[in-house]
Chain A
Amino acid sequence: MASITTQIFQQLVNGLSLGSIYALIALGYTMVYGIIKLINFAHGDIMMVGAYSGWFAITALHLPFLPALLFSMVSCALLGVIIERIAYKPLRNASRIAALITAIGVSLFLEYGGMLVLTAQVRTYPPVFPETMYVVGGVYFKYGDIVMLVTSVVLMSLLHFTVQYTKVGKAMRAVSFDQEAALLMGINTNNIISYTFAIGSALAAAAGVLMGVYFNTIDPLMGIIPGLKAFVAAVLGGIGIIPGAMVGGLMLGLVESIVSGLGASTWRDAVAFLILILVLIIKPSGLFGKNVREKV
């Protein structure tokens, strides 16, 4: 029986490290949705750009892991703000469908623009971490897994601190609560929306670098499926709710590794989407969401 317990714990460890990546991407989705009610389909592709800039920083600039992570976060934050200013801002008052289609357009642009610039060739991430393994009671902890978990926990705590205790965070919450009222209170909503995109994109970039390190390979279309799954995670936790995204991401990671552990890894993606549909049907506001009555 001991081997089964170890197996379960092993899958839990794998699930948590994968789930922390989903959680980081889901945070960006949730923040953007919370503030301008837009499903930013390009978010997964920003993660891809983050993975590539991290790769560039490590191989071409010979930076160690942490500076490379920071480099990719800063460059993606800039990219996020540029995208918001060029593509989304003119559509702030347009119909939701127009905004959604624009988001899909931006996503395609990043994917295939990336393919054009970087070629479709799969790149190998350089090994940034030693291949050390720690064995605790038969469960293997890879050095990389630990760094990943620690990095995501640190970033999430930073985000939590920013949103709860700083002036920008307070303004963000105000804007997501009521944009017009926030504007009347003297909050520069345009800047706050840009900050939100910057923070969300930086988190996605961090997720991209971690993903590159975790799976060793990156390619221009790598953002599509994790992007969609992170969205599932955001909906699972209740879209627009920051702790919900964290919990949703971790849960999705766990479910996936359990499904893989049961030997059905080809069905992994289908299970994620099935969870999505079930959540939407049973409790569309997500695990942490409150039901809001629609006013006529």
Chain B
Amino acid sequence: MRNWFNRKNIVSLLAIVLLYAVVQGLIVFDIMPAFYKLTLILICIYIILSTSLNLINGVTGQFSIGHAGFMAVGAYVSAMVTVLMHGPLLLGLLAGAAVAGLAGLLVGLPTLRLNGDYLAIATLGFGEIVRIIFLNMDIVGGAAGFTLPSKITWTWAFILMVVSVVLIKNFVSSTHGRACISIRENEIAAESMGINTTKYKVMAFTIGAAFAGLAGGIYANYMYIIQPGTFSFLKSFDILVMVVLGGLGSISGGIVGAIVYTLISALLAGIPAWRLVITAVFLVVMMIFRPTGIMGTKEFSLGFLRKKGEKNAASKN
């Protein structure tokens, strides 16, 4: 029987609650300017997106660049549920995630047989097809976009973000996660060790897509308006940059990447013309001099908080 209330878990929980409380306090007492609040909620959305893409690209070693497509599916489905069917917010978010996961399953089954560049292009094509489908759907407003009330608060965004990260983190450290890592390291070796590589690739892809859909739902229910143009190739690319910036294969790296990239974008918002030029140069320089990202595949952990006995037990397992 594992002890869930070890020192490490308690400290993480306290840190999370403290972070939430501080920001919530600043919002409730109206100290925080609206732009900061927007940036914080965007950070939550992007953390979910980058962590879920990290599961596909970093942990399983596949290469998807159509993540915005799943985000669009989640955004539009949740918008349809909450506005057209007057459903509750949580139901809308879950429906968005479920449909996006289903889309991930349908796309993943045939395309995950492809490797490397071909998979990248297939997912890119999928993302564009999704965008064009929503562009041609009159019920969701077509190119003009779809307006909906902003119901997402900091509490919603933060709790969903924490839940997503914990779920993905636990998946990665589970048996299934180990199987995914073995596929990244060497697919042929993994297969010869009896791992059903297709199953685990599709599993990771579906889970990643579902969380992208969840993030899309949060985005749609916060932003007042969603347009097909938002979910273009450029958005997939933004998410990819966050993952690579933080470190492919490192969950905490993906979080750091999402925070850093969103903050950089927010800082450069004053000079929109230069924003993407600077991002592009930064990216090329980064790839040349530190292609592993900020964290590499290392994880930031609170392992040093464990007691000696626990540490030994952990190393024995």
Contact = CB atoms under 8 A, between A and B. Distances in A.
Interface stretch (A67-75, A103-111, A129-137): A103-111
B117 A108 contact: no
Contact of A98 (B132, B188, B277, B291): B291
A267 interface: yes
Interface string A63-98: 000000000000000000000000100110011111
SS class, residues of chain A in contact with chain B: helix
Given A94-B291, A100-B117, A267 B132 contact: yes
Contact of B280 (A90, A112, A228, A277): A112
A113 B277 contact: yes
Nearest to A39: B117
Contacts of A224: 233
A109 B284 contact: yes
Interface in B108-142: 110-111, 113-114, 116-118, 120-122, 124-126, 128-129, 132-133, 135-136
A267 B283 contact: no
A30 to B, nearest CB: 13
Given A97-B63, A100-B117, A270-B133, A106 B126 contact: no
A65 B248 CA distance: 48
B193 interface: no
A269 interface: yes
A150 interface: no
Interface in B249-300: 273-277, 279-281, 283-284, 287-288, 291
Given A91-B287, A98-B287, A296-B188, A108 B111 contact: no
Contacts of A277: 110-111, 122, 125-126, 129
Contacts of A273: 125-126, 128-129, 132
A284 interface: yes
B225 to A, nearest CB: 21
A: interface residue count bin: 35 or more
B122 A102 contact: no
Contacts of A242: none
A267 B287 contact: no
Contacts of B136: 266-267
B63 A105 contact: no
Interface string B226-241: 0000000100010011
B288 A108 contact: no
B279 A108 contact: yes
Contacts of A100: 63, 117, 120
A281 B111 contact: yes
A107 B65 CA distance: 15
A90 B135 CA distance: 40
A106 B129 contact: no
A101 B116 CA distance: 13
Contacts of A115: 273
Interface string A113-125: 1011000000000
A8 to B, nearest CB: 25
B288 A235 contact: no
A235 B237 CA distance: 21
Interface string B87-125: 000000000000000000000001101101110111011
Contacts of B283: 101-102, 104-105, 108
A232 interface: yes
Contacts of B284: 87, 102, 105-106, 109
B277 A112 contact: yes
A101 to B, nearest CB: 5
Contacts of A111: 276
B244 interface: yes
Contact of B287 (A101, A112, A116, A296): A101
A102 B121 contact: no
Interface in B125-172: 125-126, 128-129, 132-133, 135-136
B281 A109 contact: yes
A181 interface: no
Contacts of B274: 116
Contacts of A96: 116-117
B273 A105 contact: no
A274 interface: yes
A128 interface: no
A109 B277 contact: yes
A233 to B, nearest CB: 12
Nearest to A224: B233
Interface of B: 57, 63, 110-111, 113-114, 116-118, 120-122, 124-126, 128-129, 132-133, 135-136, 188, 233, 237, 240-241, 244, 248, 273-277, 279-281, 283-284, 287-288, 291
27 contacts: A39-B117, A95-B291, A96-B116, A97-B63, A97-B244, A99-B287, A101-B244, A102-B283, A104-B283, A105-B283, A108-B237, A108-B277, A108-B279, A109-B280, A109-B281, A116-B274, A116-B277, A266-B135, A266-B136, A273-B125, A273-B126, A273-B132, A277-B110, A277-B129, A280-B121, A280-B122, A296-B188
Given A101-B244, A112-B280, 19 more contacts: A37-B117, A39-B121, A87-B288, A97-B57, A97-B248, A99-B287, A100-B63, A101-B283, A101-B287, A105-B283, A112-B275, A116-B277, A269-B128, A270-B129, A274-B125, A274-B129, A280-B111, A280-B122, A281-B113
Interface of A: 37, 39, 87, 90-91, 94-102, 104-109, 111-113, 115-116, 224, 228, 231-232, 235, 266-267, 269-270, 273-274, 276-277, 280-281, 284, 296
